[in-house]
Amino acid sequence: MKKNLYVCALFSALCLLTHRAFSQNTADETRLPLKKISIFSSGVSYFEHRGPISPEAALTLNFNSGTVNDALKSLVINDPEAALPDITYQSETTLIRTLRSLKINLSGNPGMAGILSSLKGEEIQMTASTPAPATLEGRIVAVETSPVFLRGGEGGGEPSITISTPNGIRMIKLKDIQSLNFKNAAINADLIRALDIIRSSNNGDMKTLNISLSGKSRRDIGISYVIPSPVWKVSYRLEINGGGKSLLQGWAIIDNDGDIDWTDVEISLVTGRPVSFIQNLYPPYYVNRPVLPLAIAGAAEARTYESGYGGRDQTVEDSFDMARGDSAFEIAADEEALAPRPQAMAARALSSRTSNAVSPYGGALDTARGADAGDQFEFTLKNPVTLARQQSAMLPLVEGTFDAEKTLVFSGQRAMTGVTLHPAISVRITNNSGMKLPAGPVTVFDGGVYAGDALIEFLPEGEKRIISYGDDLSVSGVVISSFKRVIDAVTASRGVMTLSRKNINERIYTIRNSARSAKKLVIEHPVTRGAALTEPAKFDEQTATLYRFSLDLAAGATLNFPVIEETPVFETINLSGLSDAAFAAFSSNAEIPEKARKAFAAALALKRGADEAAKKLSELEAQRVRLTADEERIRNNIEAAGKESPQGQEYLLRLAGQDAAIEAQNTAIDAARAELAEAEKAYKDYLNAIDL
């Protein structure tokens, strides 16, 4: 502990010697006042600073590491005179690399012994207190630590410096040095610079942009940028009154999570969904480059020669191919990490948006002005806002009277699961405020009493929206579903039949009102994809997935409400591929027109005739196969018995009769084939001739 105290004291003395130069190189930080903030629902905010500056101005902007990339991406300077603003900043590696490059290296937080040890050979001037106060000059030879022996063993060490003076080598303990100065002016200058760098880095996670603006006169300028910020939030209060009117009041919730106070700042709240991303511009990025061999001529290749022979001289040259190493390098460049060199940048002024829209209604609250901002919508608070750092606030956004109708909403989608369902207590509002309202929670009051909570999605101006805030337990309902398929039309041409069917879905909503008062009811029926609504003929509203039907529900009554949808289904059938059973089904189906039924019956008769002819031909061919087999057996018997034997003679007579029978069978088969061909032709011709 004692060692640390005197080393720190010596270092403090060294800092005091350089105080004058340090003060001369430190300028007062100048910051423009913050005048405007636009908070976006996409997680960023636009900050604008405005104010007067002197002809030659040096400004600073501080950002933490989480916002500096966005600041570098979006910074805009609006200066009517400075054509080339100069913007500099310390990169992510500036501190360590810069400290290491100085003649006095403070990068590793060294003590005095370490600092002096790294400066061996440098000339110093010091004042020491032992053995008597004296001023010494010399060059640093070494810095050593001598062990100190305490009772019970060896303790810590005492560092001492050895210097070479005109009177010889002297060794002085560091604790006895009262003051010290370097003869080399460059070391003193680097010490001041190192202290400046360390001081600027002491602000934790903050990154500083230094902006230099040169001009000829005092002038007003603006600096703006976009950085990440908490999204602004909105909450509504809806008071349901009689007469079809309701009071809607909206509040915006904002958060100042920065390190500066907002004082009389114009606040705009923007709703929308712009593209927003982060690109890593702050840290230096180095691109990999290929390493190629040096283009050096090198030495000539070695050659040897053989002895000559024969009628002419022959020189055989053995050449050796030089190996060439062709290296291919893949250059990987991460586009999201490319950082520009610190350089001057300039941009023209961005005109600040000023809303001229006026709220079409009055109210107890001084609410925001709404205006379109490109494809987004901007709310500008009427009064400047003052909000301390790390504080949040809830500010009036909108207040006005809206068209509203109280109703119940029965969900057919949920009721189709077979459960008894209570409809939702709801109110249908129309946004006639002249502003686009962002999504948020709604606290509903009915007759001055809390009625429930609801959610509302983004609501464009002029659009109607239903919000629900509870269930009506006095009303219940179920859905009964049925399905059937009917034939709608039959057409046929050139042997192809087109069958048009209808898939009919019928759902009957049964709603019972047990209350003593009549109620308005909206039934939400899910749209069946590809189906047409046939009953009822009209609906009140339609969304991408729902039909809405508005009904009156009498007190103590039960309501039955059928909804029928039809889906057309077309089927193409090749008539020649139909079976007898299919033809029989079509010819007897009462849904099919009589003309088509008769045609199918006639086709069935022709098909059966062709099938009978095919069956007859098959039987005749089977009989011929049997006759041919018997003939072959007789021939084998004749060969075994011999033609001259009595038995052989008998077989010969039987063979002659068998041949006659086969010949007659062939004649019958030919006739059956002709009959089958005629029947099949008649059947196919009839199918192709059907025109329905």
Query: Rounded CA gap, 67 and 86, in Å?
Result: 20
Distance of CA 11 to the CA centre of its chain: 54
pTM of the model: 0.60
Q: Which residue has the tokens 């061996």?
A: 120
Which of 269, 246, 226, 690 shows the shortest CA–CA distance to 498? 690
pLDDT at 298: 66
CATH number of this structure's domain 1-25+92-148+157-202: 2.30.30.140
For residue 524, which phi and psi values (nearest 5 degrees)? -100, 115
SS3 at position 36? strand
pLDDT at 395: 92
pLDDT at 192: 86
Query: Rounded CA gap, 504 and 485, in Å?
Result: 6
414 sits in which H/E element: helix 412-415
SS3 at position 323? coil
SS3 at position 391? strand
- Give me the sign of the Cα torsion angle 435, 42, 349, 35: positive
Which of 116, 112, 125 shows the shortest CA–CA distance to 165? 125
HEC sequence for 133-163: CEEEEEEEEEEEEEEEEECCEEEEEEEEEEE
pLDDT at 366: 57
Query: Rounded CA gap, 520 and 244, in Å?
Result: 13
pLDDT at 357: 35
pLDDT at 172: 84
Q: Which two tokens stand for residue 489?
A: 């039309």
652 sits in which H/E element: helix 646-689
A 10 A CB-CB count for 620 gives 19
pLDDT at 200: 67
- Parts of the chain with a pLDDT under 70: 1-30, 92-95, 130-131, 147-156, 200-204, 297-298, 300, 303-377, 417
Q: Which two tokens stand for residue 91?
A: 């990169």
pLDDT at 688: 86
For residue 368, which phi and psi values (nearest 5 degrees)? -85, 160
Q: How far apart are the first and last CA of the chain?
A: 112
Q: β-pairing, 464-471 with 424-430?
A: antiparallel
Which of 251, 263, 238, 236 shows the shortest CA–CA distance to 395? 251
pLDDT at 573: 86
Which of 53, 57, 60 shows the shortest CA–CA distance to 90? 60
